[in-house]
Amino acid sequence: MTDDQTEERLKNAIAALKQHPPRSYPWRKAMNQLILDIQHLPGLVKSSHPDYPEVLNDTFLRLSEEIQHFTPSHPSLAQSLTAWINGKLRLKYATRDLFSTRNSSPKHIPQTPKTEFRQQTRKPPLSLDQTLAESRRETWEDRLAAPSLWEIQAQIARDIQQQTNIQIGVRLKDYIQRDPQNKLKNCHPSRHRECHCQLLSQRLLLKIPPDRLSAIAAELEINYNTLNWHWHNKGLPLLRAIALELGYQPPTEEL
């Protein structure tokens, strides 16, 4: 992907996040795309420390809460966003603290999302709908609700952890773009080879904003009901099978 394409994708995602209400369907889709793209920005602070994924997750939570206040400070949107995340959202300092606080034993640690998360991981697993504290109504599902491709379609499970969602989402996105074995291109309604599932996946799942299935049907001159049935009964099950091959683990009740 070229720098211009990256800039355009970031611009569209941020514009969508500021336009739509938080946690709405378009907002969650845009946030998912933004998080996927952010991880490929060359200036993003990274670390091999085993606790770095927790720091990154905490940063993404702050990103979802503060993106409305983001204002570019560089000609390059990618550089501006990277600097904002590293500095304003304190990814750089939190990553540095992973090493500087390893041997320290402070008497009091402020209760931040990061420290709270670490405390909870030492306890028995929590239900996603269990509240974080008696005095709060926010749940772990609320805090860890990172949008993903799975959340776009009802057929795809919603309960895996945020980091796993992101990793599988990145791999599935890459698979859709490359379609290495032509599985997606070979999945199409009879007599309509142009309506293959790679095209549908790109336009319905990866594009921001997504195209409407009815618009695709009109453009490709295929009956809407035929295309709708094919997408939900052939396309989505195929994507789910590919996701399983890539490492997706469905919740127990789906097995």
> What tens digit of pLDDT does each residue of 62-82 get?
898 889 889 888 889 999 999
Task: Name the least confident of 2-6, 30-34, 94-98, 183-187.
Answer: 2-6
- What is d(CA 83, CA 74) in angstroms, rounded to the nearest whole number? 9
Summary mean pLDDT of the chain: 77
Tracing tokens 């998080």 back to the chain, one arrives at 35
| Confidence bin at 216 (pLDDT 50/70/90) | very high
> What tens digit of pLDDT does each residue of 26-49 get?
888 888 889 988 988 989 999 888
Q: Is the whole-model pTM more than 0.85?
A: no
Helices within 39-147 (DSSP H only): 52-66, 77-83, 91-100, 113-121, 140-143
